[in-house]
Structure 1
Amino acid sequence: MRASPKRLPALLLGTALVATLLGVGTLASAADPAADSPPPAAAAHAGHRMVASLQASGDDADGDGYIPAVPQVTGVTPSTANPPPRYFHEFQANCAVSHTAPDDPIVYPGQPGRSHDHTFMGNTSTNAHSVTATLYGGATACKAPGDASAYWMPSLFEGDRKVLPVGPQVIYYKTGVTDYTSVRPFPKGLRFVVGSPLQSAAQFRDHPGWVEGWECGDSFKNVDFPQNCPVGTQLNLRMQAPSCWNGLYLDTPDHQSHMAYPVVKPGTNDDVCPPSHPVALPMIEFKMAFPVDGDMSDVRLASGRGYSFHYDFFNAWEERTLKAMVDHCIVGGLQCNARGYDETHPERGAALDEQYRLP
């Protein structure tokens, strides 16, 4: 049973409503010279976001855009506890690029070729028809075989040449709240979109998931691509995902409102989940490195300018493996690699064996 009936009439599926639901507001204003209007491909991608969601496909059997969690997690109060301070509480999911395709199983489920081009990491089978059952237990380009999750982002181009990250990319799983001991694993099948291809430069800069923007060499905190990157450097980007869940839905029509970023507890410096989204989950952080340098004038994303960067996550971890990593590294206050091993605390052991599997 759903927590409440929530169906949206078709006449409300305009781009303006989509932008509002995505939290991107209006498009860039003329007062911001760096914030050009998004290209037609990006506008089409976001403009059909709700329409794509409201089609019966995959895990959303009735096509209303809401995929309820089973069971739903209710009765949770956001934790305001202060456990012993730990500088780190994280682990890495090192996942390489597996393929690219103009598919998006979250935004355009069951509609191959509908999206702008995406670069996929992790699960090697991800395509427009991917659902929880097809991803779960599948082959993966992540170091841990138990992580069959799908991760994707708009492809990056230099002119007409597609530039793919080389080797395992760093995807952090960390705490977003002060009480790191309250973080629990992702529910199976949870999915969400971080950011929007329609966001302006200012909205990208002010996004709660902003970390350092685009950087290379000594140039950092760039909203758009730097004009030039020193030869031999790479173009890097870091962006964090929301980590507080409402406990009710694995997806919602806008692919974002079931998730929220932590907020600061009034009168303190503590980060807590808001009452509307009380369940603390790992905070994913993309740390991507693209092998491109020199003149950056021809560099673009499939979704548009640099500030159109966004990414998607579809959880398909094997449950026991993810729980072991979360409990050992995040709840345990460690800085772990993809095995769940903290080299500064060898006495604590590792969550996984040398083959990155549960022992």
Structure 2
Amino acid sequence: MRPSPRRLPALLLGTALLAGVLGIGTIASAAGPGGDAPATAVPAAAGHSGHTKAVSTQASGDDPDGDGYIPAVPRVTGVTPSHATPPPRYFHEFQANCSVTHTAPDDPIVHPGRPGRSHDHTFMGNTSTRADSTTASLYGGGTTCKAPADASAYWMPSLYKGDRKVLPIGPQVIYYKAGVTDYTSVRPFPKGLRFVVGDPAQSADQFRDHPGWVEGFECGDSYKNTDFPPNCPTGTQLNLRMQAPSCWDGRYLDTPDHQSHMAYPVVKPGTNDDVCPAGHPVALPMIEFKMAWPVDGDMSQVRLASGRGHSFHYDFFNAWEERTLKALVDHCVVGGLQCDARGYDETHPERGAALDAQYRLP
């Protein structure tokens, strides 16, 4: 099974992903700090709240000089994209089941240290996430994820029906899966990595063509919608799946546009294999949001805090305890299993679980 239904050709990755998805006409290539690696510079979009095409210019706890670049320490060097083809496995994933914690007009990635600057977000995972959250403040914190070691912050624009805010109920499914054919090459996220998936300024066509698109909004028998369906049968719920980029440049935990340090896998020419592009050679888990909102009936008054349905986007800020994340990645992703939040695959009980009954390392 292909882990990503939408894949961009290598030639179009840098241009289409950032110019098309973000809806900008010009992308300038600029050297990152120290002049070592090209980084994408995205022009500012004045006056937009929430996620924007603007680069971060304000200082924060993780970025004291406010230039938008947060270096990885140490950097990952000497890695080339893996073109190996391991034994076929239909699944190579585990779940992070995390419930909603709170909502707030905050965004510690796009607007660090500026409470109230963003449109409203629905937060999951770490219970303390706020505008001034940093790697240090999140790490080891309380969480609504089943695995206590997952103090990561996950968030997305809040959904409304009229003036009523509609929150997902119970643990939401956040997959960690292989985005490349060589699932054995996937390694854990570096501590403090963060990124934004999608953009609220994207058009319906850009949302549909986004490499993270899976099936759009769906309810009942209505699928592949770029906006909310006009009606959802009574008793159903609104669902959406969207995948994140899973190839990392190995250099930065964040960049000014919060995206260019990450890339989606591309198709190896002459094959059906998904590989990381040369500029982003480090294969990380591919996060997939699988969200469910308890809303049905007439959907004409349903909207996101960021706008129409095609403005959907989400954020990830890694604060996993390193040993636990590695155990789950190694056992489930590298091991070619379909795991739950314990790292257990019920179709392969002989392989055991990565975590104990309390979702902790044994």
Query: How far apart are 1:75 and its partner, in Å?
Result: 1.2
Q: Which runs of 5+ in 2 are unaligned?
A: 1-16, 26-44
Query: How far apart are 1:350 and its partner, in Å?
Result: 0.2
Amino acid corresponding to residue 335 of structure 2 in structure 1:
G
What is the match of residue 163 of structure 1? 166
Call closer, same or farther: CA 1:302–1:345 in 2, change over 3 Å: same
Query: How far apart are 1:58 and its partner, in Å?
Result: 1.4
Which deviates further from its counterpart, 254-263 or 55-64? Answer: 55-64
Partner of 1:275, secondary structure, is coil
What is the match of residue 105 of structure 1? 108
Distance of 1:288 and 1:109 partners within structure 2: 25
What is the match of residue 186 of structure 1? 189
- 1:112-261 → structure 2 map (5 Å cutoff): 112-261=115-264
What is the match of residue 50 of structure 2? 45
Amino acid corresponding to residue 154 of structure 2 in structure 1:
Y
Distance of 1:175 and 1:277 partners within structure 2: 15
Amino acid corresponding to residue 342 of structure 1 in structure 2:
D
Distance of 1:318 and 1:20 partners within structure 2: 31
Call closer, same or farther: CA 1:21–1:205 in 2, change over 3 Å: closer
1:130-175: per-residue Cα shift (whole Å, max 9, x none)?
0000000000000000000000000000000000000000000000
Distance of 2:59 and 2:145 partners within structure 1: 30
**8 Å contact from structure 1 (residues 147, 317) kept in 2:** yes
What is the match of residue 3 of structure 1? none
Distance of 1:138 and 1:324 partners within structure 2: 20
- 1:50-61 → structure 2 map (5 Å cutoff): 50=55, 53-61=56-64
Partner of 2:214, secondary structure, is strand
Distance of 1:251 and 1:307 partners within structure 2: 24
Query: How far apart are 1:45 and its partner, in Å?
Result: 3.1
Query: How far apart are 1:192 and its partner, in Å?
Result: 0.1
Call closer, same or farther: CA 1:180–1:121 in 2, change over 3 Å: same
Partner of 1:212, secondary structure, is coil
Q: Residue 297 in 1 paired to residue 272 in 2?
A: no
Call closer, same or farther: CA 1:311–1:228 in 2, change over 3 Å: same
From 288, 308, 313, the counterpart of 1:310:
313
**8 Å contact from structure 2 (residues 233, 297) kept in 1:** yes
Call closer, same or farther: CA 1:127–1:279 in 2, change over 3 Å: same
Distance of 1:238 and 1:42 partners within structure 2: 29
**8 Å contact from structure 1 (residues 42, 198) kept in 2:** no
Call closer, same or farther: CA 1:228–1:41 in 2, change over 3 Å: farther
Distance of 1:284 and 1:152 partners within structure 2: 13
What is the match of residue 348 of structure 1? 351
Q: Which runs of 5+ in 1 are unaligned?
A: 1-18, 28-39
From 13, 17, 24, the counterpart of 2:22:
24
**8 Å contact from structure 2 (residues 193, 318) kept in 1:** yes
Partner of 2:229, secondary structure, is coil
Query: How far apart are 1:20 and its partner, in Å?
Result: 5.7
Q: Give the alignment's Cα RMSD to 1 decimal.
A: 1.6
Q: Identity of paired residues, percent?
A: 83
Call closer, same or farther: CA 1:63–1:173 in 2, change over 3 Å: same
**8 Å contact from structure 1 (residues 339, 350) kept in 2:** yes
1:210-267: per-residue Cα shift (whole Å, max 9, x none)?
0000000000100000000000000000000000000000000000000000000000
Paired positions, count: 327
Distance of 2:300 and 2:210 partners within structure 1: 25
